[in-house]
Amino acid sequence: MKLKRISVKSSLGNYSVIAGAGTVHRAAQEIAKLGRFSSIHVVSSTKVWRALSKSIQRGLQLPGKVHFHRMNDGESAKNLRTAELLSRVLVKSGADRKSLLIAVGGGVVGDVAGFVAAIYLRGVALVHVPTTLVAQVDSSIGGKTGVNLPEGKNLVGAFYPPRLVLIDPELLRTLPDREFRGGLAEVIKHAIIADAPMFGMLEQNMEKILRRDRTALGLLIPRNVAIKARVVSRDERESGLREILNFGHTFAHALESVTRYRRYQHGEAVAWGMIAAAFLGHELGLTRTADVSRIVALIRRLGPLPGWPQVPATTLLNAMRSDKKTRSGILRFVLSPRIGEARSYDTVPLHVVERVLHFTPRLIDASAGPLGKYRG
């Protein structure tokens, strides 16, 4: 299959996202085009490295010594301590300002390694090789890096674009089923906010996609990359349009925070968040009933999700107030007037949000289906 090269605009320099089966085998050739580096440092996790080290090392047959560093890729390890430890490892390995950092892994590895690349010696070159679906279609593109604080998700970070992103769907073959399904939540999100025809395609082909059909993924992944690239090229620093990429995320980040990042994988929290956002849009008279039904039905086809936490709605509401999208204490929500469109709203009555937080798990639990049966 022909590789697709998608350009992303950035204030620090445009970069390419190369997507397609076999991309990882061209890694050395593509990285060589970026210039010469004094040293190369590959950051990954033990889990990813165990599954993919042979493929990655074959693709990274680069001149000179390549240093390999491991980190914990659990969401609970996405913090300042991990960033500090990785920075100190780079110092001990002799990394200087002409070094290259290659992040091989999912969203946590990409976010932490990207953050370290942004702050280490005030910035070193960065390449992403995403190995999860959520990273391939979303988090590796756009230059957002960061770590969590106990008070909230991604509250410390930087906009720091990579020099190159290499996306190979074949790396998803060893991805655990739960992580693959969670990544599909971000694919559904892109369809809801920007691509109604893709939403229809997902409805028609979800079983084939869940089986990781090569042809389906070969079409789906570049299409999602193009959506993300188009949005972030027009609004790199989330001052306007880019906010639509946060559909469902205000709810999702609160769910992750109150469960201390231990219950949900990110895509699972986003799946719940999109259901809640669809209900909120309906409560406000913005989202049509038919669209809410389609959104909920498609998300349910992803399979079982960890259950909604047994905490008061006010606890989740307080967690939302720490979200980085809050402006002057006012919560902002991305809502979808119709499938294929989304925009931000900052005049949402809090009592309506609290009502949605209260009834969302009850509505799902009351219906027959895997989402309501699994309590996680």
Catalytic one among 190, 242, 300, 301? 242
Residue pair 336/278 in contact (Cβ under 8 Å)? The answer is: yes
Distance CA(132)–CA(256), nearest Å, equals: 19
Inter-axis angle of helices 350-366 and 313-320, nearest 10: 130
Distance CA(52)–CA(109), nearest Å, equals: 15
Q: 358 catalytic, yes or no?
A: no
Q: 238 catalytic, yes or no?
A: yes
Q: 351 catalytic, yes or no?
A: no
Q: 237 catalytic, yes or no?
A: no
Q: 78 catalytic, yes or no?
A: no
Q: How is residue 306 written in tokens?
A: 């960890």
- Give backbone dihedrals phi and psi of 69, rounded to 5 degrees, phi first: -125, 140
Q: How is residue 90 written in tokens?
A: 């780079």
Residue pair 135/171 in contact (Cβ under 8 Å)? The answer is: no
CA nearest neighbour of 351 among 283, 265, 291: 283
CB neighbours (10 Å) of residue 214? 13
Catalytic one among 266, 282, 300, 301? 266
Q: 67 catalytic, yes or no?
A: no
Catalytic one among 78, 153, 190, 249? 249
Q: DSSP assignment of 94-143, as one string?
A: T--TT-EEEEEESHHHHHHHHHHHHHGGG--EEEEEE-SHHIIIIITSS-
∠ at Cα 16 (87, 52), nearest 5°? 60
Q: 170 catalytic, yes or no?
A: no
CA nearest neighbour of 75 among 245, 252, 264, 246: 264
Q: 318 catalytic, yes or no?
A: no
Catalytic one among 170, 203, 238, 354? 238
Catalytic one among 78, 128, 223, 253? 253
Inter-axis angle of helices 266-283 and 350-366, nearest 10: 110
Q: 256 catalytic, yes or no?
A: no
Q: DSSP assignment of 252-306, as one string?
A: HHHHHHHTTTSS--HHHHHHHHHHHHHHHHHHTT-S-HHHHHHHHHHHHTT---P
Catalytic one among 69, 190, 228, 282? 228
Catalytic one among 128, 144, 263, 301? 144
Catalytic one among 163, 246, 256, 282? 246
Distance CA(257)–CA(148), nearest Å, equals: 9
Q: 246 catalytic, yes or no?
A: yes
Catalytic one among 186, 243, 256, 268? 186
Distance CA(369)–CA(366), nearest Å, equals: 9
Residue pair 40/10 in contact (Cβ under 8 Å)? The answer is: no
Q: Please identify every residue annotated as catalytic.
A: 122, 144, 186, 228, 238, 242, 246, 249, 253, 266
